[in-house]
Structure 1
Amino acid sequence: MKIVIAPDSFKGSLTAMEAATAIDRGVKNAYPLANTSLIPMADGGEGTLETLVDATDGFTKQVQVKGPIGDKVEATYGILGDNKTCIIEMASASGIVLVPEGKLNPLITTTFGTGELIRHALDEGYRTFILAIGGSATNDGGAGMLQALGLHLLDEKGQSVGFGGGSLRDIHRIDAKGFDERIKESSFLIASDVENPLIGPNGASHVFGPQKGASQEDVALLDSQLTHWADKVEETTGIQIHDKPGAGAAGGIGGAFQAFFPSRVERGIDVVINYTKLKENLVEADLVLTGEGQVDSQTASGKTPMGVAQTAQNLGVPTIVMAGSIGPGIELLYQFGIVSAHSIVNSPMKLETAIKEASFLLEKSTEQVVRSYFHNHVPQLQGGSV
């Protein structure tokens, strides 16, 4: 029996590798002779850097940059095993996890630190980039990132405007003369499953602003600010990003990449599937076990369990999902080859307890699921090699 174990992280409790290890223990508790392959996954958000660096035997570099609210933070970027490709995880420099509780405010949060990471990597000689842009705390249209790379955003007096989505309205002119020339020599693969436009009811501010601390009044203001920003970008570049699919990703940084960088966009999960060689590992597999902290209708939008299941389904391999919690709409997932989804919470408990005991709960739940799924294989598995 061959079982491929390919979970995402259980945010707040387990990294993808820790989750994979717990699932593996559960499988081996049930059938010690099972052949397992552990392939930690990610979908373009937090954990993507670690997953790709580990999968390719790469390494990481630490850099001090400006955090989303202006303080200094220690950020990390990775170099893949080819020693040529740089992976930058936006959340490391401009992520929502870096903002203390009660201080989320997309009117002032900036992507400047993400630009500093890119600049540092350029200084180190790297010209091939993967940008994982999930988990941001920002809604500045990528303006801060561009400022860090030498783009001047000037007000009516010719002075540089401030940081954050609330300052975009002050931009009177974009001066691209100082924009880092090395950008043109580079390639940027944007790992994102977000297809939202920059502005409007489905845009960055309306859809993602509230989770970054925006009130309803803030949302309307931010959408107006991004509209002004898009107008100025079009004046400067001739590129219209207002309604471009994916321009609304990560508070609008997706639009900045489309307008100012030689870039292309791929689903985050597809990027990870490619670099981890998941498809190759699925050959002759009997089952895939995947999972993440929350599984619901949103999982079908390109999250790890769906991407893993789609890849497995194309090879005729069934997928079972293990989850911290299961929300409404999981019926959508069955068409992608997911056989069933299981919550690891086995009794009434507080959230803090579930987080603390996540590894144990995942192990024990996996054991029961695998025992049930392979009950007809018990004599074979207990008798010899498989």
Structure 2
Amino acid sequence: MKVVMVSSGFKECLDAEEVANAMKNGAMRFDPFLKTDVIPMVDGGEGFVKAIMKVKKGELIHKEVIGPVGDKVLSYYGIFTEGNKRIAVIEMAAVAGLKMVPSDQRNPLKTSTYGVGELIMAALDMEVDKILIGCGDSGTSDGGAGMAQALGVRFLNDNQRIIKVRGGEDLLKVASIDTTCLDKRLQNISIEVACNWTNVLCGDKGVARVFGPQKGAAPEEVEKLSDALEHYAALIEDAMSINVRYIPGSGASGGLGTGLLAFANAKLFPRFDLIMHFIQIEEKIASADLVITAEGSLDAQTPNGKIPCEVARIAKKYSIPVIAIAGTVGKGAELNYKTGIDAFSSIIQKPVTLEQAMFKASKWIGDSVESILRQVTIGLKMADRKERVFAYGKKVGQV
């Protein structure tokens, strides 16, 4: 039996490679000689840059930039060469991710993507030919306005004075947008963005209402943020004749997708489709007898482009069973059965606090994989016994 294990990160707990190692440990406890292929996978969020650099043997470059709450933070981006082109890779989670926002300051009305723009500028200074940006695990909802300011965009009030947008709520103070000082180099470079294709900027399913509460916004703050992003969309339409409200991916990372589309001449892509170009996994999945995948949370949002369901869709092309494990199993998790996941379970073994669960996560991931493999082996033994009984009965003329 060959088992392919595809891991993603457990947000604010373990990155994809750490989850992969834990899964591998569990499999080896079951059988040290088991044929396995372990693939740490990223969806544009935490670990995106390092995963691409590992595959492409690129260079990691550290840079101090402005973090989501206005403090200086040490972030990074990567550069690798493909053919005769230099490609920079930026991960918004490494500069404005939720884990970079202190728990007592989590309010998307007041967090900024300014540092993302600084990393883009740093990449431009390195004279790269293309920039790949991963959108995921964000702690911001400023529509990418912070990033835009770092690129040279100016937001003006009614008196045509520059406003410093340092969070989603500041968008309500903006009367117009001036792009005359936008860095001209952006016109001559390709920027591709790996994002959640189902996220849109505005409306009932807009990023403020869907993800605002996860980033610390109270109900009244969610509505204020929704109004601010609608106002922002109207300003962009006036300035650039682009209706960004419902463009697929426009709501990615608190609307960073919108900012990249409108101001950085970027192209948005479903994150898994773009990432598959750099991390090839289909051939490995196709060779498996069983696929086990892992995700921090499995719920109604998982089918919308998250790794377990994308892995399951590939596996089902080859009629390979898929089992998913998760830190938490949330509302609507049963929808994942329709995507090709055959079974799923939580790694949690007993009632614990969140902090305790995070501390135990690595061990419990390994325990879950070992348990799955033992249960699968029981099934195989039952099937083998049934086949032998059938063959015996046929031999003696009973069937």
Taking structure 1 as the reference length, the TM-score comes to 0.91
What CA deviation, in whole Å up to 9, does each residue of 1:2-46 have, x standing for no partner? Answer: 221111112233221121112112222222222211210122222
Secondary structure of 2:78's counterpart equals strand
Q: Which has the higher contact order (CA 8 A, sep 6+)?
A: 1
Query: 1:270 touches 1:307 (CA, 8 Å); kept in 2?
Result: no
Which structure 2 residues correspond to residues 10-159 of structure 1 after superposition, within 5 A? 10-80=10-80, 82=82, 84-159=86-161
Q: 5+ residue gaps in structure 2?
A: 382-399
CA distance in 1, matches of 2:379, 2:200: 50
Q: 1:354 to 1:104 in 2, by over 3 A?
A: closer
Q: Secondary structure at the match of 2:205?
A: coil
**Structure 1 residues 55 and 96: alpha-carbon distance in aligned structure 2, compared to 1, 3 A threshold:** same
Q: Highest CA radius of gyration, 1 or 2?
A: 2
Q: Matches of 1:81 and 1:326 in 2, distance apart?
A: 40
Residues 56 and 276 of structure 1 are in contact (CA less than 8 Å); yes or no, is this contact kept in structure 2?
no
For the residues of structure 2 that align with 1:254 and 1:364, how far apart are their CA atoms? 38
Structure 1 moving runs of 4+ over 6 Å: none
Aligned length: 378
The aligned residue for residue 262 of structure 1 is 265
Rounded to whole Å, the distance in 2 between the matches of 1:67 and 1:236 is: 28
Q: Partner letter of residue 6 of structure 2?
A: A
- Of 20-29 and 163-172, more deviation after overlay is shown by 163-172
The Cα offsets for residues 65-86 of structure 1, whole Å up to 9 and x where unpaired, read as 1111111111111224637222
How big is the shift at 1:194? Answer: 4.3
**Residue from 311, 314, 324 that aligns with 1:311:** 314
Match of 1:239 in 2: 242
Alignment CA distance shift 1:311-1:362 (3 Å): same
What amino acid sits opposite 2:276 in the alignment?
A: I
AA in 2 matched with 1:18: E
Secondary structure of the corresponding residue to residue 297 of structure 1: coil
The 3 A distance-change label for structure 1 pair 371 and 199 is same
Counterpart CA distance in 1 for 2:223 and 2:338 is 37
* RMSD across aligned positions (CA): 2.0
What's the offset of the Cα at 1:120?
Answer: 0.4
Q: Secondary structure of 1:299's match?
A: coil
Superposed, 1:280-299 pairs within 5 Å as 280-299=283-302
Q: What does residue 374 of structure 1 align with? A: 377
Measure, in 1, the Cα distance between the counterparts of 2:320 and 2:202.
40
Q: TM-score, normalised by structure 2?
A: 0.88
**CA distance in 1: counterparts of 2:172 and 2:296, whole angstroms:** 38
Residue 339 of structure 1 is matched in structure 2 by: 342
- Contact persistence 1:192–1:249 (CA under 8 A): yes
Shift, 1:259, TM fit: 2.0
Which residues of structure 1 form unaligned runs of 5+? 379-386
